Amino acid sequence: MRWGSGTISFETMEEMKRIRMLTAIVWASLSLCLPLWAQHHTVEPIPFGDMNQWVDRQIKESGIIGGATKHVYAIAPTATVTDNSAYRNRGGSPWASSNVMARVMGVTKTNTSVFPEKRDSGFCARLDTRMESVKVAGLLDITVLAAGSIFLGETHEPIKGTKNPQKMINSGIAFTKKPIAVQFDYKVKMSDREKRIRATGFGKIADVEGKDFPAVILLLQKRWEDSKGNIYAKRVGTMVVRYYASTTDWRNKVTYPILYGDITGDPAYKAHMMRLQVEERYAVNSKGNSVPIHEVAWGTADDEPTHLILQFTSSHGGAYVGSPGNSLWVDNVNLIY
C-alpha cells in the first residue's frame, strides 16, 4: 500500500480485498460493542421515533359495507380525530404509514396494519401483515394483502384505487446530514408460511415463491429535478437489513452502520441493497406532481445527500405481496453521528 498526496493506492487486488474484509470486521465489532460504542458518539432521536405519541383517527366507513367506525392510527402529537377528513402529517411529525382511508367508487373504507402497543411506560409500533377485504354485491369485491409499514414521508389521501400504490406516497424527507449508523429497538414474529401470497384486489390470489421477511431500509439520496419535472437521484448512503427468524424478546439499541458511496464491492453488500423495494418510489416535484424517483447511479462518499428514506415494513416484497402473520415491532428510532 502506498501513501502520498493524502490518498491511498493499492498495489494489488488482493490487498484491496484484505482492506475491505478488515473494514467489514471493524463494522461488525462496532455493532457488537454497543451501547459502549454509542457512548462515544452523538445519538440523535428522529422526531416522534420513540413511538409514544399517536393520533387516533376514528373513521366511519360507508353504510353499504357496514358503517363501522374504525381506528386508523398515525404517529404524531396525541389527539383524537372523529371526522372523515383526509390525513396530512401534523405537529411536525415526519412519519407516515400504511394506515389509510380510501374512497373507491364512492365507498369509504379504511386499512389499519400499524398499531400503537403498550411497552413499559410508553408505546411502540406494531406492524402486521394481514388481509383486507371489501365486498359489495354488484359493486365491489376486493381483497388485498396489506403489509404494516411506517416510513419518513407522506401519504396522499384519500386512496382512490389499488393500482400503482407507490404514486400515493411522497417518499422520504429533505435531509442533508451524514449519520454513521441507525439505531432502534425491535422484535420479530415470523409467519409459518414457506411461500408468500400476492393479493392485489384484481384477479385471483396467487402464491409467490420465497419466504416473507420483515425489513428495514435506509437510503440517503442526492436528488435533482430537470426542466420537465422528472426527479433523479444518486445513492449516497445505504443500510438494508432483513430479518429471517422470530425473536424471543426485544432486541434493544441495535445499531446498523450506514455504508457510503458505491458499495457493490463491499463484503457487506447484498443484491437487495440496490433498490428500496421491487417497485419504484415516488416524490412530489416542484410542479406539485407525484413522479417516480429515478435512482440512476451510486454517489460517492463525499456527496452531500438531499433526502433521507427510512422505512420499517413487516413484508419485504413490495405492495400486495407477503405472508399474513408476519409482525415487526419498532421503538426508539435514532441516528448516530
CB burial of 37-46 (b: ≥16 within 10 Å; e: otherwise) equals: ebeebebeeb
Q: Judge whether 127 lies within some domain.
A: yes
Peptide bond into 292 cis (omega under 30): no
Residue 35: the pLDDT is: 52
* pLDDT tens digits for range 239-279: 999 999 999 999 999 999 999 999 999 998 888 786 544 45
Whether the full predicted model's pTM is greater than 0.75, yes or no, is yes
Q: Judge whether 2 lies within some domain.
A: no
Q: Judge whether 164 lies within some domain.
A: yes
Q: Judge whether 218 lies within some domain.
A: yes
CB burial of 269-292 (b: ≥16 within 10 Å; e: otherwise) equals: beebbebbbeebbbbbbeeeebbb
CB 59 within 8 A of CB 130: no
Q: Judge whether 74 lies within some domain.
A: yes
Average the pLDDT over each of 101-105, 113-117, 303-307 and give the range with the smallest value.
Answer: 101-105
Q: What percent of the chain has pLDDT over 70?
A: 85
Average pLDDT (119-124) is 98
CB 330 within 8 A of CB 127: yes
Three cell numbers, residue 146? 396489506
* pLDDT tens digits for range 201-248: 777 899 999 999 999 999 999 999 999 999 999 999 999 999 999 999
Reduced 3-state DSSP string for the chain: CEEECCEEECCCHHHHHHHHHHHHHHHHHHHHHCCCHHHHCCEEECCCCCCCCEEEEEEECCHHHCCCEEEEEEECCCEEECCCCCCCCCCCCCEEECCEEEEECCEEEEECCEEEEEECCEEEEEEECEEEEEEECCCEEEEEEECCEEEEEEECCCECCCCCHHHHEEECEECCCCCCEEEEEEEEECCCCCCEEECECCCCCEEECCCCCCEEEEEEEEEEECCCCCEEEEEEEEEEEECCCCCCCCEEEEEEECEECCCCCCCCCCHHHCCCCCCCCEEECCCCCEEEEEEEEECCCCCCCCEEEEEEECCCCCCCEECCCCEEEEEEEEEEC
Residue 15: the pLDDT is: 52
Q: Judge whether 209 lies within some domain.
A: yes
Q: Judge whether 5 lies within some domain.
A: no
Taking 80 as the threshold, does the pLDDT of residue 14 lie above it?
Answer: no
Domain of 280 in residue numbering reads as 13-336
Q: What percent of the chain has pLDDT over 90?
A: 72
Domains identified in the chain, total number: 1
* pLDDT tens digits for range 69-100: 999 999 999 999 999 999 999 999 999 999 99
Taking 60 as the threshold, does the pLDDT of residue 118 lie above it?
Answer: yes
Residue 39: the pLDDT is: 60
* pLDDT tens digits for range 151-173: 999 999 999 877 788 899 999 99
Residue 17: the pLDDT is: 53
Q: Judge whether 205 lies within some domain.
A: yes
| Residue pointed to by grid coordinates 403498550 | 118
